[in-house]
Amino acid sequence: MADSSKNTKQMRLTVLQIERLHVSGKHPVGDGLYLQITGTGTKSWLFRYRLRGRRREMGLGPFPLIGTAAARETVLDCRRRLAASRDPLEERRTAVREANRPAAKTFNALAIEYIAAHKAGWRNPKSAAQWQASLDTYAAPHIGNVAVDAITLDDVMAVLTPIWRTKTETASRVRGRIEAILNYARVHGYRSGDNPARWRGHLDQLLPAKTRVRKPKHHAAIAIDKMPAAMTALAKAKGPASLIVRFTALTAARISEVVGAVWSEIDLKRAVWTVPAVRTKTHAPHRVPLSTQALAVLKTAIAIKQDERVFPGFARGRPLSLTGAMQALRRATPSSPGITVHGLRSTFRDWCAERGEDRTLAELSLSHVVGDETEQAYARSDLLDRRRLLMQRWADFACRGAKTTLRRR
């Protein structure tokens, strides 16, 4: 298509000339207005201009639906905007986006939508209720009835500031949930621009990191040298609670994984317990080698078997409560107040470190992810046989009560 502007720069077409013009190309009408004619004879208006050194073209509509006078009036309006350093093409695109944006929704409405859309993928069935409760308590009073496209940094700070120093962990969760819901709103076209609840490079400049506000509370653990006495006391106790604590200690597993264990997961011949992905924190199956002491615990558990659960609760058909396991551990360790069942994992890890056990084996035994993404891609083995030797050494120490000289770190 030819551009006739080079030879007719001073030309200003009349209405009659425009109507009679049929040569394909872009024909200047004046002041940056062009009549564009395609090879099929279709005519339309075009406005050419430069802004910040950049050449741009803006379609103004078909001729004769848009008359010459109307096209020239539009060009005049565009030139007024250019004189104010405004880009008429970008402003029109913004206006179209705004016109096509879905009707505004409140934060409360989007929170309900977000939770409903994601709860099927959350492992804990209580998560949906926890999300809703925290948002109802802390976010809703400030931004619940505010349209999501109107929520600003000041609004987010109004939610977080009152609780950031007193309920830091809760406040951090609420912030993350607000950020997720506003991202959801942006993806669905309910808001645009940056997320005022984002942390990195934004709120981290206004609020102290949660680890600096309050030191995280770690699960209290039994001292290494007190472990044999504790296991001896647990072995003398009766009931499923003491069994579950002993098995947890001997496998270095999470108590939630042990509570949910069923007999179909345990291969007594190969001495392996396979925790399914649905119950692991890493969302991957975890094989646990069973020491002779762990197998002895299972032999006792078989004798009181009620159903498919390895460690039945006090009420038939129900799992043992975590409180019951905690009470059994504390009865066996009266000289170690405040310890937790989860802390048994820390005791195991400390024992590994004190004795110079292989770090990778120790981390794999705890079902931790080891190494970066590249290392993980090449690590195809879970080193079960080597971990079996490690877990047997741990069980021998924990259950014999033999005095052992600890190496310095």
For residue 3, what pLDDT is reported? 44
Report how far apart, in Å, the C-alpha atoms of 141 and of each of 113, 211, 241, 242 are: 19, 27, 44, 46
Give the pLDDT confidence score for residue 375 in this predicted structure.
47
Q: Is residue 265 part of a domain?
A: yes
Mean pLDDT of 335-344: 83
Same domain, 252 and 376: yes
CATH of the domain at 289: 1.10.443.10
| pLDDT tens by residue, 56-94 | 999 988 988 888 889 989 999 999 988 888 898 888 888
Residue 219: inside a domain: no
**Domain identity same for 375 and 254:** yes
Same domain, 115 and 243: no
For residue 240, the model assigns a pLDDT of 84
Given the structure tokens 């741009």, which residue do they identify? 56
Query: Given 55, 73, 100, which residue is the final one in a domain?
Result: 100
| Residue 387 within a domain | yes
Q: Is 406 a member of any domain?
A: no
Domain count across the chain: 3
Q: Give the end of a domain, one of 80, 100, 120.
A: 100
Q: What is the reported pLDDT for 103?
A: 65
Look up residue 50 and give its DSSP letter: E
In a domain, 405, yes or no: no
pLDDT at 132 over 80: yes
pLDDT at 374: 43
* Position 341 in a domain: yes
Longest pairwise C-alpha distance within the chain: 109
Provide CB contacts within 8 A for 351, sequence distance 6+. Answer: 224, 227, 357, 394, 397
Label residue 409 by pLDDT band (50, 70, 90).
very low
Give the residue-averaged pLDDT of 269-282: 90
Query: Does residue 160 share a domain with residue 87?
Result: no
- Asked if the structure places residue 259 within a domain, the reply is yes
CATH code (residue 52): 3.30.160.390
Q: Taking the model in full, what pTM does it have? A: 0.50
At 255, which amino acid appears?
Answer: I
pLDDT of 406 > 50? The answer is no
In this predicted structure, what is the pLDDT of residue 16? 79
Concatenated DSSP letters for 271-330? TEEEE-GGGSTTSS-EEEEPPHHHHHHHHHHHHT--SSBSSB-SSTTSBPPHHHHHHHHH
Span 220-239, average pLDDT: 87
CATH classification at residue 138: 1.10.150.130
Residues 177 and 262 in one domain: no
SS3 content of the chain, % helix, strand, coil (to 5): 50, 10, 35
- CB-based contacts of 12: which residues, under 8 Å, 6+ apart? 28, 29, 30
Higher pLDDT: 98 or 325? It is: 325
373 pLDDT higher than 70 = no
pLDDT over 70 at 5, yes or no: no
pLDDT at 259: 87
195 and 329 within one domain: no
Q: Is 363 found in the same domain as 342? A: yes
Q: Are residues 280 and 370 located together in one domain of the fold?
A: yes
Q: What is the pLDDT of residue 403?
A: 40
Quickly state the pLDDT bin for 335 (edges 50, 70, 90).
confident
- Which is more confident, 371 or 140? 140
Same domain, 190 and 255: no
Does 176 have pLDDT greater than 90?
Answer: yes
Average pLDDT in the 136-140 region?
90
In this predicted structure, what is the pLDDT of residue 1? 43
Say yes or no: 312 and 261 in one domain.
yes
Q: What type of residue sits at position 99? A: A
**pLDDT recorded at residue 317:** 59
Are residues 197 and 330 both part of a single domain?
A: no
What is the pLDDT of the chain when averaged over all its residues? 84
- For 290-311, the pLDDT digits (tens) are 999 999 999 998 988 878 888 8
List phi, psi (to 5°) of 393: -65, -40
Q: Which domain holds residue 207?
A: 107-213
Looking at 73, 100, 127, the residue that finishes a domain is 100
Q: Do 228 and 370 lie in a common domain?
A: yes
Q: Residue 201 domain-assigned? A: yes
What per-residue confidence (pLDDT) applies to 408? 34
